[in-house]
C-alpha cells in the first residue's frame, strides 16, 4: 500500500507522545488493575544499564560547509542511481499487527463486535501486504478462517506463538503445520533452530527484515510454560541479525520486555510476569536489539496497547483484538507504514460508543 494512501494525521488526532522513554523499575512488580494513572512531567529512559552516566557529554563533530558544486554532484549521483536498474528505492508498503484475539472469533463470537470487526477495520483502512499476530491466537484455525472470510484467502498471515498456544496440543500442532519445514510462508529467508523449525522464522519484504521468535522454545521443545529468550533462542536470533543486510528490522515475540501502561487508561498487566521475569536474559535480549539497530520490537500479551522507546529501541504493544470481549482496555490494532522517507506506526482503537476503530495515536519510528 502506498504511503501516500495512509490516513492523514492532524495535530488533533495525534496524542501528546504519551509513553516515550518510559521510567519503570526493572524487575518484578505487581499487576495494576485499578486506579488512576499520571505520566511523569519529565519522561526518562527505562534504564537497563546502557545509559551514559549523569553529567557525561557526547562529543559532536564540527559542522562543515558543503560547496555548491559538491551539492550539485551529490544530487546528480542520487538521480542517476534512481534511474539505474535495481537501484531505485523501494516503493513502500504497510502491514497490520493484531494479536490476543483468543476465543473471540466465529462461530461463537461472530460479527463486528469481535475479531471479525478488527479485520473489517483493517480492510477499510487498507489491509496492506500482510498481518503479523504476536501470539495468543487460540484457536489459530479460527483466526485464519476469519481472515479468509474478511480479508481474503490470499491475504498473508504470519502467526507468532504465545503462551496460550500451549493450552491444547492441537494449537501448537496447527502452528507447526501452518509453516511446514519452516519455509512455507512467503518471503522466508531462514527457518527456526532445531526443535522450533516451524515456529521461529525470518522473512524479508522489500527493504525490511522481519524476525519471528518463539519465546516458549527452550532449545529442545517449542512450547514450554514461561516466556523467555533463553540461550538457544538468543543464539539463533543473534546469528540471524548478524546476517541481515536490510536497512530496517522488526522483531516479533509474544511477551514485552517490560509491561507498559495502556496508552488510554493507564492500566498495567503482567508486569514482572513477562520477559522481565528473567532479568539477565531480558537485559541481554534488549541489548542485542539495540546493538543491531532493530527498528521496533512488536509484542502482545498484556492486552494493553502502548508505544514506548526503551533504551533507544521501540516497543510496540498491539494490545488485544477481541473487540468488546475484553472490557479491561479498548480493542486495538496497529498499521505500520514503511517508506523510503520514514516509518510510521498508527494505533487504531475501538470506540466504545459506536464500535468503530479510530486512529488514536501515530508515531514516526524512523
pLDDT tens track for 96-123: 999 999 999 999 999 999 999 999 999 9
pLDDT attached to residue 227 = 94
Distance, CA of 111 to CA of 337 (rounded, Å): 28
According to the model, what pLDDT value does residue 73 have? Answer: 57
What mean pLDDT value characterizes the chain? 82
The pLDDT of residue 360: 96
Task: Give the chain's domains with CATH numbers.
Answer: 92-364 (3.60.21.10)
pLDDT in tens, 166-225: 888 999 999 999 999 999 999 999 999 999 999 999 999 999 999 999 999 999 999 987
- Print the SS3 string covering the chain: CCHHHCCCCCCCCCCCCCCCCCCCCCCCCCCECCCCCCCCCCCCCCCCCCCCCCCCCCCCCCCCCCCHHHHHHHHHHHHHHHHCCCCCCCCCEEEEECCCCCCCCCCCCCCCCCHHHHHHHHHHHCCCCEEEECCCCCCHHHHHHHHHHHHCCCCEEEECCCHHHHCCHHHHHHHHHHCHHHCCCCCEEEECCCCCCCCCEEEEECCEEEEECCCCCCCCCCCCCCCCCCHHHHHHHHHHHHCCCCCEEEEECCCCCCCCCCCCCCCECCCCCCHHHCHHHHHHHHHHHHHCCCCEEEECCCCCCEEEEECCEEEEECCCCCHHHCCCCCCEEEEEEEECCEEEEEEEEECCCCCCEEEEEEEECC
Closest CA to 94 of 185, 204, 4, 1: 1
Looking at residue 76, its pLDDT comes to 54
10 CB contacts (<8 Å, ≥6 apart)?
none
Q: Classify residue 31 by its DSSP letter.
A: -
The pLDDT assigned to 196 comes to 97
pLDDT for the residue numbered 186: 97
The pLDDT value given to residue 75: 47
Say if residues 230 and 237 touch (Cβ distance below 8 Å).
no
Task: Give the alpha-carbon dihedral of 347, 294, 50, 30, to 10 degrees.
Answer: 40
pLDDT at position 341: 85
How far apart CA 300 and CA 254 sit, in angstroms, is 5
Cis before 139 (ω within 30):
yes
- Predicted TM-score (pTM) of this structure: 0.80
pLDDT of residue 290: 97
Q: What percent of the chain has pLDDT over 90?
A: 70
* pLDDT at position 71: 53
Instruction: Give the residues of the chain that fall short of pLDDT 70.
Output: 1-90
Which set of grid coordinates corresponds to residue 336? 505500520
**Residues whose CB is less than 8 angstroms from the CB of residue 225 and which lie 6 or more positions away in sequence, other chains included:** 163, 166, 216
The DSSP H or E segment spanning 74 is helix 68-83
Percent of all residues in the chain with a pLDDT value above 70, rounded to a whole number: 75
d(CA 113, CA 29) in angstroms, rounded, equals: 33
Tell me how crowded residue 230 is: count the other CB atoms within 10 A of its CB.
Answer: 18
- pLDDT (0 to 100) of residue 272: 82
Helix, strand or coil, per DSSP, at residue 156: strand
Amino acid at each position: 500500500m502506498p504511503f501516500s494512501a495512509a490516513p492523514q494525521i492532524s495535530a488533533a488526532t495525534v496524542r501528546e507522545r504519551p509513553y516515550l522513554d518510559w521510567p519503570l523499575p526493572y524487575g518484578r512488580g505487581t499487576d495494576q488493575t485499578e486506579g488512576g494513572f499520571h505520566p511523569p512531567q519529565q519522561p526518562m529512559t527505562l534504564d537497563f544499564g546502557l545509559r551514559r552516566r549523569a553529567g557525561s557529554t557526547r562529543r559532536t563533530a564540527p559542522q562543515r560547509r558543503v560547496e555548491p558544486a559538491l551539492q550539485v554532484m551529490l544530487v546528480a549521483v542520487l538521480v542517476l542511481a534512481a534511474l539505474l536498474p535495481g537501484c531505485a528505492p523501494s516503493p513502500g508498503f504497510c502491514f497490520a499487527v493484531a494479536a490476543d484475539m483468543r476465543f473471540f472469533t466465529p462461530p461463537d463470537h461472530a460479527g463486528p463486535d469481535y475479531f471479525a470487526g478488527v479485520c473489517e477495520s483493517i480492510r477499510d483502512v487498507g489491509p496492506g501486504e500482510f498481518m503479523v499476530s504476536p501470539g495468543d491466537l487460540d484457536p489459530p484455525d479460527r483466526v485464519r478462517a476469519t481472515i479468509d472470510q474478511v480479508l481474503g484467502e490470499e491475504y498473508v498471515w504470519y502467526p507468532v506463538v504465545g503462551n496460550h498456544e500451549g493450552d491444547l496440543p492441537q494449537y501448537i500442532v496447527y502452528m507447526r503445520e501452518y509453516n511446514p519445514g519452516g519455509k512455507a510462508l512467503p518471503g522466508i529467508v531462514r527457518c527456526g533452530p532445531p526443535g522450533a523449525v516451524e515456529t521461529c522464522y525470518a522473512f524479508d519484504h522489500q527493504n525490511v527484515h522481519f524476525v519471528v521468535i518463539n519465546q516458549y522454545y527452550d532449545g529442545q521443545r517449542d512450547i514450554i510454560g514461561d516466556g523467555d529468550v533463553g540461550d538457544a533462542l538468543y543464539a539463533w536470533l543473534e546469528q540471524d541479525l548478524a546476517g541481515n543486510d536490510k536497512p530496517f528490522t522488526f522483531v516479533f515475540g509474544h511477551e514485552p520486555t517490560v509491561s507498559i501502561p495502556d496508552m488510554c487508561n493507564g492500566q498495567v498487566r503482567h508486569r514482572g510476569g513477562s520477559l522481565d521475569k528473567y532479568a539477565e536474559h531480558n537485559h541481554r535480549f534488549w541489548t542485542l536489539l539495540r546493538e543491531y539497530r532493530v527498528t521496533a520490537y512488536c509484542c502482545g500479551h498484556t492486552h494493553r496497547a502502548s508505544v514506548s522507546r526503551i533504551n533507544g529501541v521501540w516497543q510496540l504493544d498491539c494490545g488485544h483484538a477481541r473487540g468488546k470481549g475484553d472490557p479491561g482496555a479498548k480493542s486495538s490494532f496497529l498499521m505500520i507504514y514503511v517508506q523510503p522517507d520514514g516509518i510510521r506506526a498508527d494505533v487504531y482503537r475501538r470506540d466504545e460508543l459506536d464500535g468503530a476503530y479510530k486512529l488514536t495515536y501515530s508515531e514516526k519510528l524512523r
